[in-house]
Structure 1
Amino acid sequence: MTAIFQRYADDETSDPRIPMPQRFLSTTVSHYPIDVLARHLEKYLVDPSSTHDRYPWAARFVMGMPVPTWSRGLEWNVGQQARFFTAVWSGADLGSYLTNDWCEPADTGRALADNSEILVDGQQRLHSLEEYFLDRLAVPDAQGQPRVWSELDNGERKRFLSTIFSHARVSSGDEVALRKTYDLCAQGVVPRSFDQRAVR
């Protein structure tokens, strides 16, 4: 049987009352090197307490970015981290990580409102990067010898840091929409179990 495909119907006999799912939040994507994330981590490490003061509601911080309480925990094992770094060093497409740009001062003090500047998706990959940069994770070199970040020369560091890791962004104060977006991020790839979903 021959498959029939048409990008558009020849006539408008289709039923316009059949709505398909709509996006919850508009997303913009920028293609930045990993070096942007490394600089963000450097800035965070200079004064982590100041960052914690801005996001007192955060469950934790990954690469200096606040992670909301409704995000799943750190789940990746060493094998998953190793596969990610093989992809980075090989120049493979790393996909993207997603943050929320929305921010608003809280009622008092320096704190920002809940869900401001959060890491919505990409926590496992970014946490793996942080562990690597802080010498808590060794990655095999071309001969299979495990190497931590501080052992690499500047040429290899520059090659790694120049790898593109796309940054997707939304901007919303609507926690329900953010939770739904979070839940959709892994659908069809590694679906989150019910207890890992933000919307239950």
Structure 2
Amino acid sequence: MPTIFKRHCDEVTADHRIQMPQRVLPTSTNQCSIDVLVLRLEKYQADPSDAHACYPWAARFVMGIPVPAWQRSLVWNVGQQSRFISAVWLGADLGSYVTNECCKTSGAGSALVENSDALLDGQQRLHSLEEYFLDRLAVPDAQGQPRLWSELGKGERRRFLSTIFAHSSVCSLDEQALRKTYDFCAMGVAPRTYDQRAAQ
């Protein structure tokens, strides 16, 4: 006999001692346009030394956002990057990128404590955007011709920049909790191999 889905539990057979996993850190999500990310990139490009002074612990920056040293490196190839940018043009669901919004000064000038503002998920996608905006990546136009960002007119740029790319955020200075959040972000989509996990 086929099993029939039931929304509510059967009080007789249900085991109320069973608990399923819970999120490591509370998360909030906002619907933001790509233009918000571009403002951050422009600020970083204008004065990279200021960003490095604020986030001396950052291994690198992607779209002007600091990336912790315990994240995996950049692994997408040009084809993957190009497909992501094409997905933006086609209006696909881009998922969300995740940052740690918790900021606290370290007491050393303008430096922020480790993992403040850190990017926890979305590094490959954000790096693809950065490569595109800096004319290091060409993607096919409607006729299949590779095009750089600098070749596009105002209307097409406005359309691209107004695309929604959701921004999720957590707030914690607990590095182990942030590492676990990072590890869980891609579960089921493109699971990280054991050596790519931050919390081992």
The answer to whether 1:89 aligns with 2:89 is yes
Superposed, which structure 2 residues align to 1:160-179 within 5 Å? 160-179=160-179
- Aligned partner of 2:116 in structure 1 is 116
What is the Cα deviation at residue 3 of structure 1?
2.7
- Aligned partner of 2:134 in structure 1 is 134
SS in 2 for 1:167: strand
What is the Cα deviation at residue 199 of structure 1?
1.0
Amino acid at match of 1:117: D
Measured in 1, the distance between the counterparts of 2:3 and 2:14 equals 19
Measured in 2, the distance between the counterparts of 1:191 and 1:103 equals 28
- Aligned partner of 2:53 in structure 1 is 53
Measured in 2, the distance between the counterparts of 1:19 and 1:2 equals 26
Unaligned runs of 5+ in 1: none
The answer to whether the 8 Å contact 2:41/2:63 transfers is yes
SS in 2 for 1:93: coil
- When residues 50 and 89 of structure 1 are mapped into structure 2, their CA distance, relative to the original with a 3 A threshold, is same
The answer to whether the 8 Å contact 2:24/2:180 transfers is yes
Deviates more, 1:116-125 or 1:5-14: 5-14
What is the Cα deviation at residue 143 of structure 1?
0.9
SS in 1 for 2:131: helix
Measured in 2, the distance between the counterparts of 1:145 and 1:72 equals 32
- When residues 12 and 46 of structure 1 are mapped into structure 2, their CA distance, relative to the original with a 3 A threshold, is farther
Superposed CA RMSD in Å reads 1.0
- Aligned partner of 2:76 in structure 1 is 76
What is the Cα deviation at residue 107 of structure 1?
2.9
Q: TM-score, normalised by structure 1?
A: 0.97
Measured in 1, the distance between the counterparts of 2:86 and 2:3 equals 38
Amino acid at match of 1:87: A
- Aligned partner of 1:101 in structure 2 is 101
The superposition leaves residues 116-137 of structure 1 with CA deviations (integer Å, 9 ceiling, x where unpaired) of 0000000000000001000011
SS in 1 for 2:32: strand
- Aligned partner of 1:155 in structure 2 is 155
Unaligned runs of 5+ in 2: none
Measured in 1, the distance between the counterparts of 2:69 and 2:89 equals 32
What is the aligned length? 200
- Aligned partner of 1:38 in structure 2 is 38
Measured in 2, the distance between the counterparts of 1:17 and 1:107 equals 46
Measured in 2, the distance between the counterparts of 1:139 and 1:90 equals 12
The superposition leaves residues 79-117 of structure 1 with CA deviations (integer Å, 9 ceiling, x where unpaired) of 111211121000010000000001111032211000000
Q: Which consecutive segments of 4 or more residues in structure 1 shift more than 3 A?
A: none
Q: TM-score, normalised by structure 2?
A: 0.97
The percent of aligned pairs where both chains have the same amino acid is: 67
- Aligned partner of 2:195 in structure 1 is 195
SS in 2 for 1:32: coil
Measured in 1, the distance between the counterparts of 2:191 and 2:13 equals 36
